[in-house]
Amino acid sequence: MKIRIDKAGCVGNARCAAVSEELFPLDDEGYIAIERIDVPPGKEDLARRGARACPERVIEIVEDDS
């Protein structure tokens, strides 16, 4: 599983980081600091919850094909 993020659409609500700071790190101004990440095994539920928490829907979950 991967996470893709449209950083330009982030308005800094930080709801994703409230779910998981590890998967959704913020920069010094409180906006999402990454554009993509490979989700570590066992963190898939946190990734989905963080994506659902985003009111702007800028977080996309990409399921692996395997």
| pLDDT at res. 64 | 81
Q: What is the pLDDT of residues 9-66, one digit of tens each?
A: 999 999 999 999 999 999 999 999 999 999 999 999 999 999 999 999 999 999 986 5
Domains, the chain, ranges and CATH?
2-62 (3.30.70.20)
pTM: 0.90
**pLDDT band at residue 4 using 50, 70 and 90 as cut-offs:** very high
Q: Are 25 and 11 in contact (CB under 8 A)?
A: no
